[in-house]
Chains A and B, each alone.
Chain A
Amino acid sequence: MPKKAESKKNIIEFKNVSKTYEDGTKVLDDINLEIKEGEFVFIVGASGAGKTTLMKHIVREEVPSEGEIIVDGQELNKLKNWEFPELRKKVGFIYQDFKLLDSKTAFENVALSLYVAGKSEEEINTIVPNLLHLVGLADKKDRFPKALSGGEKQRLAIARALAHEPKILLADEATGNLDNASSWVVVDLIKKINDWGTTILFGTHNSDIVNTMKKRVVRIEKGQIIRDEKGAKYE
């Protein structure tokens, strides 16, 4: 674990978290995990290992069957329904399938996050171009997602996730649908965001990225953490 991170407080804590679906399938099994502010953590494992489920718990898309999750000092079990939107503004989420709205332009997709936060048109017209510039899509603001490449779509999704200036960015197989070159553009962008202080949880099974970045690696198999090590190799 990096030295600068050790002095920082935990921003995510999983305490004995398990998740069992109604049909008896156990997808998380006694997970204990602490992530410090500003850390960059890879969550690795094969498909179906539990990476996505673990990340969904952080934004309360999934509710644990047992255990406790604390995000930025808030115990999620104690949150009321009306408090979830505030939690989700602290946590940006990017997905393998981008989850962009095809009927909206690049500008409108990013603006959506700001509209739901109640920002004024004036603020939106200032913030969105900056975010699009940051992800290298300033000249494609009027394009619809269908007219963007896979890498551009993912960068657009990152711009949208950053609109609330989240403390945590969850990337679930964010490079899963991208070619090698585009994947590295996205990874470099996420690394840059981490350098500015945002905590990153990067779920992937791309060993090249994990091994090159030399960050903390948490390996999950069958819902259990089987390894948690800084700079570990993933094969």
Chain B
Amino acid sequence: MNNQILKRALQNLKRSGWRAYAVIFMMSVTFVILGILLTIMYTSQNLVNYFVQKPEVIGFFNDDVSEEQILNLKKEIETKDFVAEVTYRSKEEAMKSFLEANKEDENLVNSVTSNPFPAHLNVKAKSLDQLPMISEIFNNSDLIYRVESLEGVVDTLKMIVFGIQAVALTLLIIFTISTFIIIFLTVGITIYAHKNEIIIMKLVGATNWYVSAPYFIQSSIYAIISVMISSAILIPILYTQYGYLLSTLVGGLSISGISAQILAIGVAIELLFALLLAFFSSYFATRRYINQ
């Protein structure tokens, strides 16, 4: 690249003063929101995937039902095409599993004197839409006193996720448009301040690219600095607090955290978005003020 173009770009940056800070602030806020949006999308998608991959119905048996009756029902269910797996857990195993899961809470463990846990069959369907057929088998059986199913949960979850994403996306659009306008005006003001220089450069044979290039570089530098700032804010939080937030919100579910690789992809997406935003706003500013 022509040294003069770079030199003029750096000079423009220096002379932009408070306008440069305003642009960088707005862009940084936009990219923090974009980062949060990407995190929400990543997490919600993982959450939905978790439930979609676990299409199961649990049938809890009355205490007076014998193990033989339960195993007969198990056999019957296993013959169905839509059933992927059936697991039987007796009252004793259910109790053991509860005590194991809560072994650190002595008060809770000591409060359990008799076994309140029912025997149950855990039936996994091959797909989510087959859950009602399994529920129907349990509901038609006299041996079962309660049926638990994820039926409807995934749909509700998808709706909640959609709502959150819509709000985040709206915020992102608002901030993107604001940032676009701010870059457009900042570049426009810088161009206006150099009006004479631009007229003279064009008179002595400068191409539109030679005149415009510094403004593209100027806004690209804003974009890079803003992504660096937003990453410096978001990455430490996500890296240290994401697991905690996840366990607080959906504790007990084994949903994967955010790896360094995922963070790197996120930053790359932000950088690409930032550069595109910088490019288009400078393009329209230079087209409006220089290339007309």
A complexed with B:
yes
Identify the closest chain B residue to A95 (Cβ): B203
How near does chain B come to A60, taking the closest CB pair, in angstroms?
Answer: 10
Binary per-residue interface labels of chain A (70-91) against chain B in the complex, 1 for a CB within 8 Å, 0 otherwise: 0000000000011001101100
Other-chain contact of B200, A59, A85, A86, A112 (Cβ < 8 Å): A112
Identify the closest chain B residue to A93 (Cβ): B203
Residue numbers in B under 8 Å from A160 (CB-CB) = 204
* CB contact list, A101-150 vs B, under 8 A: 101, 103, 112-113, 115-118, 121
Is B93 an interface position by the 8 A CB rule?
no
Is A164 an interface position by the 8 A CB rule?
yes
Provide the main secondary structure of the chain B interface: helix
Contact A85 B203 (CB under 8 A): no
C-alpha spacing A36/B206, complex, angstroms: 27
How near does chain A come to B200, taking the closest CB pair, in angstroms?
Answer: 5
Q: Given A99-B199, A115-B4, A118-B2, are A164 and B208 also a contact pair (CB < 8 Å)? A: no
Is A163 an interface position by the 8 A CB rule?
yes
Contact A88 B200 (CB under 8 A): no
Residue numbers in A under 8 Å from B3 (CB-CB) = 121
Other-chain contact of A82, B2, B4, B204, B208 (Cβ < 8 Å): B208
Other-chain contact of B204, A61, A103, A113 (Cβ < 8 Å): A113
Contact B208 A112 (CB under 8 A): no
Contact A101 B197 (CB under 8 A): yes
How near does chain A come to B208, taking the closest CB pair, in angstroms?
Answer: 7
Provide the main secondary structure of the chain A interface: helix
How near does chain A come to B231, taking the closest CB pair, in angstroms?
Answer: 36
Is B205 an interface position by the 8 A CB rule?
yes
Identify the closest chain A residue to B8 (Cβ): A115
Contact A88 B202 (CB under 8 A): yes
How near does chain A come to B198, taking the closest CB pair, in angstroms?
Answer: 11
Question: Which of under 10, 10 to 19, 20 to 34, or 35 or more describes the interface residues of B?
Answer: 10 to 19
Contact B2 A88 (CB under 8 A): no
* CB contact list, B149-176 vs A, under 8 A: none
Residue numbers in B under 8 Å from A103 (CB-CB) = 197
How near does chain A come to B194, taking the closest CB pair, in angstroms?
Answer: 10
* CB contact list, B188-220 vs A, under 8 A: 196-197, 199-208, 210
Residue numbers in A under 8 Å from B291 (CB-CB) = 81
Contact A88 B208 (CB under 8 A): no
How near does chain A come to B216, taking the closest CB pair, in angstroms?
Answer: 17
Contact A89 B205 (CB under 8 A): yes
Residue numbers in B under 8 Å from A99 (CB-CB) = 196, 199-200, 203
C-alpha spacing A163/B80, complex, angstroms: 90
Contact A115 B2 (CB under 8 A): yes
How near does chain A come to B12, taking the closest CB pair, in angstroms?
Answer: 13
C-alpha spacing A93/B205, complex, angstroms: 11
* Other 16 A-B pairs with CB < 8 A, given A88-B205, A118-B2, A160-B204: A59-B203, A82-B207, A82-B208, A85-B205, A89-B204, A89-B205, A99-B200, A99-B203, A101-B196, A101-B197, A112-B200, A112-B201, A115-B4, A116-B205, A121-B3, A161-B204
Instruction: Show 12 A/B contacts (Cβ-Cβ < 8 Å), sorted by A.
Output: A61-B203, A81-B291, A82-B207, A85-B202, A85-B206, A88-B203, A112-B201, A116-B201, A116-B205, A116-B206, A117-B205, A163-B204
